[in-house]
Structures are given as structure tokens and as C-alpha cells.
Structure 1
Amino acid sequence: DYNEIGIIFSDMEYIGAYFIKLVAFFSFCLFLGVLVKRSAFALGFLIVWQIIEWLFYGLMKWKIFKDTDIADTIAQFFPLNAMANLIKEPLSRLGAIQSAANQLGENFTKDYAVSPLNIAIVLVWTTLFIYWSYAILKKRDL
């Protein structure tokens, strides 16, 4: 029965995590826009930042910390990676997708819980980005 109050309000932490993710991403974009002063260059720098995070993670995974999970532990603290860790692939949670995958012989073993550690990491990054944006604006003579 889908009218029970417990079913209707289940997994509500996703809405909060999604809100925190958006605020963090937009504060990061604000920081880049204030830092670079041009919106197109800020978007380009955002793409470059993502590539740098991937390259640094790859370097740690295959050269520095071989055959360990230390690279994954460190990478969860990268800004864009921390934002992506808040909500992991929400569409694969749907019953229709899981039943279709079960018919094809696939099994989903993902942990869809919203971790308080991930929320704390993203909130720290959000605070830093807003503070750095404010500090840059205060330092500049507008």
C-alpha cells in the first residue's frame, strides 16, 4: 500500500543532500567566477579542474598508492568528487530498473545511503568557497 505515511516520507534525506550538493556546486562556480572574472573562462577552468582531479586520482591510484584504497580515501576529499559522492546514481534505485537488471542477470550492490561524512566534507568546501569568494571581492578595488 503506497498511502502509508512511512512509505511516502521514506528516503527524504536525498532532498537535503541534493540541496547541499547544488549549493556547494554553485558556491564553487561563484568562487571560480570571482577568481577568473570572466564567466566563459570560469566554465573552462571548471572543466580543467575536473580533469586535474581525475589525473591526480589516477596518479595516486596507479603510481603512488598501488594496490591499496588510500587513493580512494584521499579522492573523496576533492571538491567535485565530494559533491558527486553525496548522491550516487539515484536512477538505478528505481524498482523498474532493478527488475530489468535482474532479468538480464545483473545485480546492483551500491550503497545509496547519504553519509554524514560526505555531507560534512561538502559543507566544509562550501564554507571555504564562499569565504574565499568574499575575501577576493573584499581585496579587490571594485
Structure 2
Amino acid sequence: MKRLLSIEFQKLWSNRSSRILILSYFILLSFIALLASVNFKIIGIDFRLADQGIFNFPYIWHFNTFIAAWLKIFLALVIVSMMSNEYTYGTLKQNLIDGLSKEEFIISKLLTVILFTVASTLFIFIMSLILGYNFSSYTEASIVFSEMEYLGGYFLKLLAFFSFCLFAGILVKRSAFAIGFIILWQIVELIAWWALRWFIIKDGPTTDSVINFFPLMSMFQLVKEPFSKFETYRAVETMNSGVVTEKFYGIHWYEAAIVIFWTFAFIYLSYRILKKRDL
């Protein structure tokens, strides 16, 4: 395992574009912390985002994981280019000639995907703790470490999406076309939602239930939008009982199960394609 990771790390770090994308990803994640200390001036009024309560425990776990998930495209580009470079520079064939089996090759890529996911989740965990303890109104341990399921959802979301990117990179070979394939898949799912919502099922909640079985949609819905939840929190803090919400913001077990299914499906399909392909 250590040998396989070492091989992949050498490939990634020797590639200038990959280095820039990886560093850019973690730098942009750090901008979440930077926003906390910036004073914004709108219509002559100064305010800081941190003072609005967005970094209060336990809400910070939901907010940070949702925002950070949008930046996963940087590591997605690294994973796609990681695969395309194997074909472009012939390193895949050379690795196989040198004695690396196709199973070990897939495992090495999967280990890289897991490493990216763990590193990103750990980074968000540490950053959220620092921001929370600096700006949260509530620092009791029972509050701080509640609603931690959002970190688990974030981990699953990234692992599934990166597995999908690995599948796209192996299937299409060229990074530009693989990225185009990912974008096209997203468009197809959006068109499917539109067709189901307005022409086939014609019911919003039922359509949402059906579309959540689609791979990218299931990943997106794993960590739901936190903004309307924030309005509820603020209403509770100000004792405003006029705001009521019935929306569930947590993670259902079956939502996690769907994402796990797609993760294994993409990894298996990646292996099958590589196994059957004449290199």
C-alpha cells in the first residue's frame, strides 16, 4: 500500500499542473476562514460574517461542509488528469511492464482518491474547530460535537464524486473529453429532473425522491443547503416563533446507502474497463 501511494505521489508532484491545483484547492478552502475576519461595508454599514452566527456550533459543520464541497472540482481535475496522463505519457503500460498488475494499478488510484478525501475532510474538521472556538457563542462539548454527521456526509460525497471522476478518466482517456463527459452527465441528470418534474411525474416531492437515485444528484443531496436552516437558527435565537420549517436537513441512512452504492459501482466499472482494455 505504501509503495503504491509513493508511486502515485511521485507522479502527481512531478506534474506542475497537479501541484498547482492541489495547492489551490487547500488555499481556497482556507478562504472560508479568511472571510470570517473580513469587515464588509454595505450602504455605510460595517459587518463581519462571523458576527452573523454562521460559525456557531453545531451549525458550522453543516455550513462549512456544504461550501467546501463546491471546491471539489479542483481535486476532480487532478484525478481526471492523473488518469489521462497515464495514457498520454505511456506510464500505465510501463508500470504494467515493470510488474504492476491491473488490480494494483486500480488500488493505487483508489488509495489516492481516499487520501484526497481524508485530507480534505480532516482539513475541514480542523478549520471548523478553529473557527468555531473563535467565533461561536456555544463552546460546550455536547454542542460542539453534535451534528457531526455532516462531516461523514462530506467524506462520502467527495469519495463518490472522485470515484466518478476516476471512472470518467479511465473511460474517456483524455482529460478535456473526460471533463466534458462529467459536465454532460450533469446536464443529462438536470434534463431528466426537468422531464420528470413537468412532463412525466408532475409532482415535486416524488420527482425529488426519484432523481435522488441518480449518481450526481444523490451526491449533491447528501449535504443539503444550509441557508434556510440558518434562518431557523436565527429565529430561535431571537425568540421569533413565527418561523417554522418542516424540512429535514440531516442525512437519511438510505441517502448514504445510495451514494455508497454508486461509489462501489464506479470503482468496479473502472476496474472492468481497465481489465478488458487492450493497452
**TM-score in terms of structure 2 length:** 0.45
Q: Hey, what does 2:153 align to over in structure 1?
A: 17
Contact 1:98 1:108 in 2 (8 A): no
1:33-68 alpha-carbon deviations (Å, 9 max, x no partner):
111111111111111111110111111111111246
Q: Hey, what does 2:216 align to over in structure 1?
A: 80
Q: How does 1:53-64 map to 2 (within 5 A)?
A: 53-64=189-200
Structure 2 unaligned regions, length at least 5: 1-136
CA distance in 2, matches of 1:76, 1:133: 23
Compared with structure 1, are the counterparts of its residues 27 and 107 closer, same or farther at alpha carbon in structure 2 (3 Å cutoff)? farther
Q: How does 1:93-112 map to 2 (within 5 A)?
A: 93-94=229-230, 99=234, 107=243, 109=245, 110-112=247-249
Tell me by how many angstroms 1:74 deviates: 1.3
CA distance in 2, matches of 1:112, 1:68: 18
Tell me by how many angstroms 1:138 deviates: 0.8
Superposition RMSD in Å:
2.6
My pick for the range that moved more, 15-24 or 68-77, is 68-77
1:113 partnered with 2:253: no
CA distance in 2, matches of 1:141, 1:120: 34
1:93-116 alpha-carbon deviations (Å, 9 max, x no partner):
447x9539x99xx95733211111
- The count of aligned residue pairs is 138
Tell me by how many angstroms 1:130 deviates: 0.2
CA distance in 2, matches of 1:71, 1:92: 21
Q: Hey, what does 2:188 align to over in structure 1?
A: 52
CA distance in 2, matches of 1:68, 1:90: 20
Q: Hey, what does 1:65 align to over in structure 2?
A: 201
* Percent identical: 53
Q: Hey, what does 1:34 align to over in structure 2?
A: 170
1:4-40 alpha-carbon deviations (Å, 9 max, x no partner):
2211111111111100000000000111111111111
Using CA pairs below 8 Å that are at least 6 residues apart, which structure has the higher relative contact order?
1
**TM-score in terms of structure 1 length:** 0.85
